[in-house]
């Protein structure tokens, strides 16, 4: 008979021989428990499998999966949830919410005479991670005569700014734009998708136009949006076509 281990004051033994019979006897060192081979093998496998199963269940719970044996998954923040938070860029942009006086200047062609419009107000507010801006006449306190809307946000997954503007005063549609990188504290350059313009004559010209929007910050109470145009006319001339100059209302 071969002794294989001790549990408390009892020792487990395997009876030698072709067939092991289950019986019990008492010796000088305490109770000796004889196990049938199938019972011993079941106990042996159980001693290996049960700790392994418990470890697997613990690992499942740690990784947020569905566990058994009454284990609850640990809470984890997903990448999507984490990157949907404001982040430093959008949190800084929230400081620009509020009312701003706007001066708009337009140059209709390269070297053209500037036309300036005052008496405009920009209302800015954060909607989630987006800074919404709409421009209206200062007298339109009910916001029924909105002239222009835009949205700006730093897209944290791509690591760049995204922007869209909607102009009510010209049939140019929705104008999306994107930066190449994150820019810096002084400003950012946004490049728009090309779009068609009707032209200034009585007939539709249908000319394609490229545009960028350069946003610059001059402290917490002043900023500027400059928009540069390039017509698809074979010349490739770049000119400053629109400027929106903002001053925060006190």
Q: What is the pLDDT of residues 50-107, one digit of tens each?
A: 444 444 444 444 444 444 445 555 557 899 999 999 999 999 999 999 999 999 999 9
Position 53 scores a pLDDT of: 42
Query: Has residue 188 got a pLDDT over 60?
Result: yes
Position 136 scores a pLDDT of: 97
Query: Has residue 35 got a pLDDT over 90?
Result: no
Domain boundaries of the chain, sorted by first residue: 2-62, 87-248
Q: What is the pTM of this model?
A: 0.69
Position 143 scores a pLDDT of: 86
Position 100 scores a pLDDT of: 98
DSSP E strands, 48-186: 98-106, 115-127, 130-137, 148-155, 160-167, 174-178
Position 199 scores a pLDDT of: 85
Weakest mean pLDDT among 39-53, 71-85, 119-133, 192-206 = 39-53
Position 184 scores a pLDDT of: 86
Tens-digit pLDDT profile for residues 203-226: 998 899 999 999 999 999 999 999
Position 75 scores a pLDDT of: 57
Q: How confident is the model at residue 239 (pLDDT cuts 50, 70, 90)?
A: very high
Position 250 scores a pLDDT of: 82
Burial state string for 121-147 with b = 16 or more CB within 10 A and e = fewer than 16: bbebebeebbbbbbbbeeeeeeeeeeb
For domain 87-248, the CATH architecture is Beta Barrel (2.40)
* Cα–Cα dist 178/86, whole Å: 18
Q: Which residues contact 115 (CB under 8 A, 6 or more apart)?
A: 105, 106, 107, 108
Position 30 scores a pLDDT of: 45
Which has more pLDDT, 127 or 205?
Answer: 127
């Amino acid at each position: 008979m071969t002794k294989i281990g001790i549990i408390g004051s009892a020792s487990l033994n395997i009876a030698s021989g072709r067939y092991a019979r289950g019986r019990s006897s008492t010796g000088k060192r305490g109770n000796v428990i004889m196990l049938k081979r199938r019972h011993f093998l079941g106990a042996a496998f159980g001693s290996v499998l049960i700790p392994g199963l418990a470890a697997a269940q613990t690992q499942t719970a740690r990784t947020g999966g569905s566990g058994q044996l009454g284990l609850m998954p640990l809470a984890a923040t997903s990448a999507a949830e984490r990157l949907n938070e404001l982040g430093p860029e959008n949190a800084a942009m929230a400081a620009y919410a509020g009312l701003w006086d706007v001066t708009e200047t337009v140059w209709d062609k390269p070297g053209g005479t500037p036309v300036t419009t005052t008496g405009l107000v920009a209302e800015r507010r954060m909607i989630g991670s987006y800074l919404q801006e709409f421009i209206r006449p200062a007298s339109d306190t009910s916001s029924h005569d909105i002239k222009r809307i835009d949205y700006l946000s730093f897209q944290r997954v791509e690591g760049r700014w995204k922007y869209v503007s909607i102009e009510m005063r010209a049939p140019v549609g929705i104008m999306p734009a994107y930066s190449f990188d994150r820019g810096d504290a002084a400003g950012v350059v946004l490049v728009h998708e090309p779009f068609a313009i009707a032209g200034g004559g009585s007939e539709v010209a249908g000319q394609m136009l490229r545009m960028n929007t350069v946003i610059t910050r001059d402290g917490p109470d002043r900023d500027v949006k400059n928009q540069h145009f390039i017509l698809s006319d074979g010349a490739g001339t770049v000119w400053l076509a629109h400027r929106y100059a903002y001053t925060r209302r006190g």
